[in-house]
Structure 1
Amino acid sequence: MAAFFVLIFCAAVPGHAKEPGASPPPAVKMAIEPIEIVTASGAHRLRVEVARTPDQRERGLMFRTSLPADGGMLFDFHEERPVAMWMKNTPLSLDMVFVSRAGKVVSLALAAEPYSERVISSGGPALAVIELAAGVAQRLSIAVGDTVKHPIFER
């Protein structure tokens, strides 16, 4: 079963320092797109960077020191499968929202510890992960079963 897990996001980039304050490698360009998350408190519109390529997913939010209040990153795996994340080289605490192909929230990891190498699992198949600044998932009342609207879901 472990062979099905993909450990990507926030991974160390070979040849670069791994300590807080390390000099980041060059940024990878990503599209910024609207996304909507429908929760018990209503529909919430955000603008997220979309990581579609292996290089974009590997870089993720590494070395970032801030995120816009209505921003984050959507990681598109292109296929539904169990995924795992870590926070190596990531100075921000993040909320991770794991989403199925149908656009349903399948699990959450709240306030992930900056720079941690602890593996954070989706707990089951996910097509995508949305990373938000820590506290945003709670502020928006995001819960398992909520709906995420973006063109990558149900394609």
Structure 2
Amino acid sequence: MNPKDFYNLNDIEKEKHLRKTFKKIETSKDEMLLKMNSIVTLKVKHYKTDFYIHDLQVLIEKEEQFLWLVRDCGTNLIQLEDPEYEKGQWKWKSWYEAVKRNMRPNSFYLIDNKNKIIKKINEEKANVIISSYDEKYAANILLENKAV
């Protein structure tokens, strides 16, 4: 369900949708989603809708690589293959840094949604991954600007 549609539901409908989504994951054969669901169940105390509404919607739409940040109060999915720039900086690097600074994730995962692989990584590895994508997209912007 689209997040906008979810937030237009009343509380009873929201709860029903979340239970249905949880059950659908639990009965699926998708090992990656089962593992992610287990992580959310064990580690996320509040704002589980970050995963069940927002992250799942992106995972349905995009077979890409992501960093997944898990916090006591929710999750964040960082879209590594989205080269969008805002205010002269790679959008997702800015988002990643803001989440780390303000929301303090306690677990980091590399998600390969195309091959359905989830791998736990440490914060240092996550920083290296973000830096490598940032450098890649910065180089592309420089090449595009030279061509103009």
What's the TM-score bracket when you normalise by the shorter of the two chains?
under 0.3
Larger strand fraction of residues:
1
Larger helix fraction of residues:
2
User: TM-score, normalised to structure 1's length?
Assistant: 0.26
Q: Rg: which structure is higher?
A: 2
User: TM-score, normalised to structure 2's length?
Assistant: 0.27
